[in-house]
Amino acid sequence: MSNKKKTFSIATLGCKLNQYESECIRNSLEKNDWIYKPFESGADFYIINTCTVTGKTDSRCRNAIRRAKRISPQSTVVVTGCYAETQPEKLREMPEIDILLGNSEKQSTAVVLNRMVEEGTTANSYNTKAVSGNDVFKMSIDNFHDHSRAFIKIQEGCNSACSYCIIPRARGPSRSVGADTVLKQARILESNGYREIVLTGIHIGRYGMDLDEDMDLAKLVKMLIGATSHTRIRLSSIELTEVKDNLLSLISESTRLTKHIHVPLQSGDDEILYAMNRPYRSSEFAGRIEEISHSIGNISIGTDIIVGFPGETEERFGNTYNLVRGLPLSYLHVFSYSRRPGTAAASMPNQISPMVKKTRSKKLIKLGKSKKFDFLKSQVGRDELAVVQGPKRPSSQFSRTLTGNYCEVFVKSPPGLKGYLMPITISHYSRGRLYGILMDTVR
């Protein structure tokens, strides 16, 4: 590399898996003496790690690409991720993009940029294919820039065929990271001060099914707890049909696995669930949620719902609304259905108008807020361990903390505690927020 150190910035859109992979790229570049800079301050290279889960996300990706070139017109803009994987032809029409790398090439991003600089080649002349095809699971990480919690990728891809989803095309079939690799990564992150690790992937409930050894998600979590001293473990989104009894026993019994699960529902109407190709019916989903809520005290259960799927009549939307209203859920993520090219649902009849989607979304979002506030109020008076995340604004006297059951609690805290697990007492609720008192013991 030339004597002048190169600068770079990364914009990450989408899921925790993308965040993990962006951090791997950042770590790799910094180990080669590159200098990371905030997005708005300008850089020699911009890396845009894209998502394509909805049309709105596609638009946000394109906006980030254009903004990078406006900030630094002479920069090299590198675009990777799911949008780059599924719609490369559309992105090649954007003059702002210099290098396009799909998900299969993402792990080579740092290699591509290092070789370009070392060899003095331009984006137009560099053969990115020459370095593609590396083992995606060789991506590793030492720390997360400005994050109080760390993520570990344990799985990639999806074997499901939900009719609305483009992710299997973007990420490929389900593959598990070997347990030894996951354990090594967890030990490194704990030794570097992280006190909460989030296990992430596209379909983590299928963890271990493709490995030679007898392995599943619950066994991996148990191994992680044994391999670390005090860092707690959190699961990212998991299908409810894959929340097995052995995993629930761990959540119930272990102080190191958070009492929090996020399980996508998508619809509460059986006809819509069938059209979505989801692997359960509404009564099965409801029964399992009730069982989990009753068996594990004070657990936080969140879900995803897609509004306006093709064929969703007012009656069918009402079935979803009524089902969700009666379930012990602590928060909702509501999405308007977005047609994804190449999916079965994109060509289905009876597509729903944007105005109807908007109206229905607002109704469910309002219900979700009510459920969230009720759950927050139920936490007043409880003692919890919470990760200190720092203030939302530098001038704020309150720091955000996150409890094991996924409640944000604002506390007055001295500087220097970001990332620590701290005991707190939740003192009161006010205007949609929980407030607490920080105790003395650092963990």
Q: Position 40: which residue type? A: E
Q: Which of 90, 94, 93 is nearest to 46 (CA)?
A: 94
Q: Which residue has the tokens 């729903």?
A: 352
pTM: 0.93
Q: Is the dihedral of CA 141, 143, 145, 146 positive or negative?
A: positive
Distance CA 189, CA 153 (A): 13
Please report the domains of the chain, with CATH numbers, ordered by start residue: 7-136 (3.40.50.12160), 148-258 (3.30.750.210), 262-378 (3.30.750.200), 383-438 (2.40.50)
* pLDDT for the residue numbered 413: 86
Q: What is the pLDDT of residue 415?
A: 83
Q: How many CB atoms lie within 10 A of CB 442?
A: 12
CB 80 within 8 A of CB 49: yes
Q: In this predicted structure, what is the pLDDT of residue 120? A: 80
Look at residue 127 in the predicted model and tell me its pLDDT: 52
CA pair distance 157, 167, nearest whole angstrom: 8
Residue 167 confidence (pLDDT): 94
Residue pointed to by tokens 């001060």: 193
CB 44 within 8 A of CB 75: yes
CA R_g for the chain: 22
Which two three-digit tokens encode residue 20?
Answer: 């993990």
Q: By CB neighbour count within 10 A (0-12 exposed, 13-18 middle, 19+ buried), where does 345 fall?
A: buried
Centroid of chain to Cα 110: 22
Starting at the edge strand that comes first in sequence, how are the strands of the sheet with 45-50 ordered? 35-36, 7-12, 45-50, 76-81, 99-100
The series of mean pLDDT values per 10 residues for the chain, 443 residues long, is: 79 95 94 95 97 95 98 97 96 96 91 88 58 56 88 96 96 95 96 96 96 94 97 97 96 97 98 98 98 97 98 98 98 97 96 98 98 98 96 86 98 90 97 93 57
Residue 54: CA atoms inside 13 Å, Cβ hemisphere, count?
14
pLDDT at residue 3 in the model: 58
According to the model, what pLDDT value does residue 359 have?
Answer: 98
Residue 410 in contact with residue 401, Cβ under 8 Å?
yes
d(C-alpha 281, C-alpha 348), whole Å: 21
| pLDDT score of 128 | 55
**Cα distances (Å, whole numbers) of residue 263 to 27, 121, 399:** 31, 47, 28
Residue type, 143: N
